Amino acid sequence: MRGLWLEDRRLRVRDDLELPAAPGEALVRVLLAGICGTDLELVKGYYPYAGVPGHEFVGRVESCPDAPEWVGRRVVGEINAACEDCRACRANRRSHCERRSVLGILARNGSFAEFLTLPARNLHAVPDELADDVAVFTEPAAAALRVLEQVQVGPGQSVLVVGDGRLGTLVAQALLGTGCDLLVVGRHPAKLERLAARGIRTGLADSLPARAVDLAVECTGNFDGFGLARGALRPGGTLVLKSTYHGESRLDLSALVVDEITLLGSRCGPFAPALAALRSGRIDVTGLVDARYPLTRALEGFEHAARPGVMKVLLEP
């Protein structure tokens, strides 16, 4: 099959990849896949991965020996394939399975190919009325909703989202319905205008209040965003980190201790609520797709996705 291959920080389109096969797992034909910040960082060396990258997708099940009822259904899929037997799995922490593989990130080929495999338990059916261009946002929408699983957010709280890009836009919409005093800051007026049109208060990153907010969610994809979010937090506040990026970071740990700041990493989230939010329009992805490329032009797609200010670029096998 055809697929995009990453090895030694180099991407290339290959036509000689073997059709994926895993005992009992579903074989899924990829209909559409999205390039995200993690994919871009993998190319920079964020994690030593070799294989087919990509983890945001919508597809159709071609075969599924252990659950044939899935065949023919349009699906999205949770990216962590768990062993179901380790301590983390027995404690219902499957996304932190000690022997997990992760679609397009760890020990499992991903969605930038014609086919992928996942366990049937990872699959979620896409409602008929949800277009592929919307369903492909399920994984990042779930990541946005993960914040609400980890932190109690409600009226009276001042909440800051740092970053007006792909993930920041989704996180802001996930938080909007909580009744919190929400502010999104970024560096791109056009993106901020799009958020403002959805009833979200926005501002430029250089006009942030100092030591004023209860909760800050960092979604910029770079270490500068951490500094902005940290500087806006009041003592005793909580900083949720959504960014993954290549390189080391310097932190003033003493200041975190003195101000009693809670640092919270936030990764994968719930797919069923994400599909419901996309279906209802609570999370609206209208206008977030900037470009589509066939898989044969995937390298151009990656170059496009890496440009400053670009939202979502899709690959179509």
Class of domain 144-265: alpha beta
pLDDT at 215: 98
| pLDDT over threshold 90, residue 120 | yes
Looking at per-residue pLDDT, the higher value among 170 and 47 belongs to 170
* Mean pLDDT score across all residues of the chain: 95
Per-residue pLDDT, 207: 81
Q: What is the pLDDT of residue 95?
A: 94
Q: Which of 41-45, 74-78, 288-292 has the lowest mean pLDDT?
A: 41-45
Q: b/e string for 270-295 if b means 16 or more Cβ within 10 A?
A: bbebbbebbeeebbbbeebbebebeb
Is residue 47 over pLDDT 90?
no
* Interstrand relation of 101-102 and 80-81 (parallel, antiparallel or unpaired): antiparallel
- For residue 201, the cross-strand partners are 183
**Residue from 281, 309, 18 nearest 134 by CA:** 281
For residue 249, is pLDDT > 80? no
208 confidence band (pLDDT: 50, 70, 90): confident
Strand order in the sheet with 158-162: 201-204, 181-186, 158-162, 213-218, 233-241, 262-265
Average pLDDT over residues 230-236: 97
Predicted TM-score (pTM) of this structure: 0.96
pLDDT score at 206:
84
Residues 6+ apart with CB under 8 A from 69: none
Q: Mean of the pLDDT values across residues 241-269?
A: 90
What pLDDT, on a 0 to 100 scale, did the predictor assign at position 104?
98
pLDDT value of residue 223 = 84
pLDDT level of residue 244 (50, 70, 90 thresholds): confident
- Of 60-74, 201-215, 296-310, the one with minimum mean pLDDT is 201-215
Q: Where are the domains of the chain?
A: 3-137+285-316, 144-265
Q: Residues 294, 296, 302, CA angle at the centre, nearest 5°?
A: 75
Across 148-152, 245-249, 308-312, the highest mean pLDDT is recorded for 148-152
The band of 251, judged by pLDDT with boundaries at 50, 70 and 90, is confident
d(CA 32, CA 54): 11
CATH number of 3-137+285-316: 3.90.180.10
Residue 268 is predicted with a pLDDT of 95
* Residue-level pLDDT at 221: 82
* Residue 246 clears pLDDT 90, i.e. is over it: no
Give the model's pLDDT for residue 250.
79
Percent of the chain with pLDDT over 70: 100
24-28, 87-91, 242-246, 286-290, range with the lowest pLDDT: 242-246
